[in-house]
Amino acid sequence: MTDGTHWPGTWMNPSSKHSKSDHSSINKVMLNPPSDEPLLGNADEKKLIDLTNVDIRLPFLVYVSREKLQGYDHNKKAGAKNALIRASAIMSNGPFILNLDYDHYIYNSKALREGMCFMMDRFGDCICYVQFPQRFDGIDPSDRYADHNSIFFDVNMRAFDGLVQSLCCLGRRKKNANISAENRAPRIGDSEKEKEVMNLSTFPRRFGNSTFLIDSIPVAEFQGRLLDDNPTVNGRPPGSLTTPCKRLDASSVAEAINVISCLYEDTTEWGQRVGWIYGSVTEDVVTGYRMHNRGWKSVYCVTEKDAFRGSAPSNLTDKLHQVLRWATGSVEIFFSRNNAFFASPRMQFLQRIVYLNVAIYPFTSFFLVVYCFLPALFLLSGQFIVQTLNVTFLIYLLTMTVTLCTVVVLEMKWSGIELGVWWRNEQFWLIGGISAHLAAVLQGLLKVITGFEISFTLTSKSIGDDVDDEFADLYSLKWTSFMILPITIMMVNLIALTVGVTRTISSVTPQWNNLLGGVFFSFWVLIHLYPFAKGLMGRKKKIPTIVFVWSGLIAITISLLWVAINPPAGTNQIGGSFSSP
């Protein structure tokens, strides 16, 4: 470690200055760099796998844990990635980085080769990263919370990819065989305009004062170039990467420990213009935006066999908190200088639209909330939302209906899913919109106006009875405050349905047509919220006590308001009023 002592090798028994949140920089070489020559295995009957004539060299393996200090902002995942970049640049300077979450694993090893092929293509030096869709294990057969998220990963992301990477632009470059410095990311040795960006004299201020790290940057840039087989490309000679790697020495290990200290990033551009960008809970989105804003391209690679798999949120609470995190990051982007409105001229118009959509979608929660309350307002007040059903309104309604049906058909066709799967995606889109998305917007507005941040905590828990059940976690529930609004919407619509039906039945001249219109729209809201209600009930209808409390308070409040305020009478009123003629 930094103090010269050996790492104890466990977090299970923390000690002074050695706990998960307070420890020195740790750099543990688990496997030394392999030899340059192949090492073939021998026949061994004791082994389950015959390794005869198989290269059994194992790759260089190092455990890295950045320094942690009490009261210091470590910038979460983005800070860890930046520390890893610096350490690996000094110790191995590998040409590729594979980024996985802790709960993900490689399901298709050939996908790594597919991703690298994009970067090694004739125009691959314009590709900054290759992204794969998320696939999950352990999802219940009904997928009640739409954890597969097929519409997003198989439709939206493919569409975004077509706009962000600008395939048509790359196609024109292939035809012309000419890469203009105006339309590509900066490289050492480019035009005078780019030399200012890649000026070696500015590297200490940008990357820190480590000479080992600074020396590795031109090497990595040279290795990332294309082959010098085209006169218009400032490439590298063939065979230049076949030289043996430099052996690891003690000074390199010591320097790698230094660059993962807390204070190394001070007065540098790490997290602002270098590496993963700080200031957002969705640092990957912000970092991708910065890359595209500088002229880099990206690829969304969908393999026939899933590339990687991971663990999906297992219950309603975890799913909502995941949605909250994504939406919070989008709101933070909207209120920051990473908003696509402030993008550089390198970013094309359609690319700006993509990133604007990423930043704006949580704000649709306001319209969803109004939409969910309007049917109940109709049933309670007796006044239809549209005063007159004229031809213009009916044409508009027909046009919207046909358009939405067309979108449904295209989404199902492009993603290859059935109608039931598509419907679950739609259900949870509304559930997330009136809960997590709205909470994220309010949280972002509060942070912008007051500078304070609020967090939505989990306070109570209800666990499934059968701990041996494979999907036992599906029935667990931790109460969180942004469940209040969906419960309110369900209760208000249920009460409105009761009021509307009771009033129509008791009326001397019941108007069933008006009632059916209100019931249809209110029921449409409720069936969207069915997975939410099912998640609250858990197993065997064991609803948490707090749900009963909130439901009772809401019912009492609305009942008192209904008694205090007489519904207006009129020709559009549902079934007249409760009073006798």
User: Domains of the chain: which residue ranges?
Assistant: 18-168+203-312, 364-459+473-535
Task: Give residue-wise pLDDT tens across range 357-387.
Answer: 889 999 999 999 999 988 888 888 777 666 6
- Under 8 Å between Cβ of 454 and 446: yes
Question: Do residues 219 and 93 touch, judged by C-beta distance below 8 A?
Answer: yes
110 is in an annotated binding site: no
User: What is the four-CA torsion angle of 333, 335, 341, 346, rounded to 10 degrees?
Assistant: -40
The count of other CB atoms within 10 Å of the CB of residue 272 is 13
77 carries a ligand binding annotation: yes
pLDDT value of residue 56: 87
- pLDDT tens, 141-154? 778 788 888 888 88
Interatomic CA distance for residues 279 and 182, integer angstroms: 29
What crossing angle do the helices spanning 283-293 and 316-334 adopt, rounded to 10°?
Answer: 30
Write the CB contacts of 99 (distance below 8 Å, at least 6 apart in sequence). Answer: 81
* Length of the chain measured in residues: 581
- What secondary structure does DSSP assign to 425-483, as a single string? HHHHHHHHIIIIIHHHHHHHHHHHHHS---------EE--S-TTSTTGGGG-EE--GGG
The pLDDT score that the predictor gives to residue 7 is: 67
Q: Which two tokens stand for residue 295?
A: 């002229």
Gyration radius from the chain CA atoms: 29
Q: Got the DSSP string for 385-423?
A: SSS---HHHHHHHHHHHHHHHHHHHHHHHHHT--HHHHH
Q: What span, in angstroms and rounded, lies between the C-alpha atoms of 129 and 288?
A: 9
Contact criterion met (CB below 8 Å) for 112 and 106? yes
* Span 400-412, average pLDDT: 90
Cβ proximity of 478 and 459 under 8 Å: yes
pLDDT tens across 219-246, in order? 888 887 777 766 666 677 877 777 777 7
- Write the burial class of residue 497 (CB in 10 Å: 0-12 exposed, 13-18 middle, 19+ buried): buried
Look at residue 255 and give its three-state secondary structure.
Answer: helix
| 342 within 8 A of 293, measured Cβ to Cβ | no
pTM here is 0.80
335-344, 420-429, 465-474: which has the minimum mean pLDDT?
A: 465-474
- The tens digit of pLDDT for each residue in 257-266 reads 999 998 999 8
What sign does the CA torsion over 185, 189, 191, 196 have? positive
Range name among 29-38, 190-199, 388-397 with the lowest pLDDT average: 190-199
Which residue from 87, 59, 83, 92 is spatially nearest to 220, judged by alpha carbons?
92
pLDDT of the residue at 308: 92
CA 118 to chain centre: 23
Q: Which two tokens stand for residue 155?
A: 């439709």
Q: What is the mean pLDDT of residues 379-405?
A: 80
Any bridge partners for residue 137, and if so which?
311
User: Where are the strands (E) in 225-320, listed by range?
Assistant: 297-300, 308-311
Q: What is the mean pLDDT of the chain?
A: 79
Average pLDDT over residues 156-163: 84
pLDDT in tens, 58-115: 888 898 999 998 888 888 899 999 999 999 999 988 888 899 888 889 999 899 999 8
pLDDT at 286 over 80: yes
Angle value at C-alpha 60, between 56 and 63, nearest 5 degrees: 130
Of the candidates 427, 425, 420, which has an alpha carbon nearest to the alpha carbon of residue 531? 427
Asked whether the beta carbons of 360 and 340 are under 8 A apart, the reply is: no
Q: Which of 302, 300, 292 is nearest to 162 (CA)?
A: 300
CA dist., res. 385 & res. 8, Å (int)? 69
Report how far residue 383's alpha carbon sits from residue 394's, in angstroms, rounded to the nearest whole number. Answer: 18
Percent of all residues in the chain with a pLDDT value above 70, rounded to a whole number:
77
| 195 annotated to a ligand binding site | no
Q: Which residue has the higher pLDDT, 468 or 2?
A: 2
Of 463 and 38, more confident: 38
Give Dmax (Cα) for the chain. 100
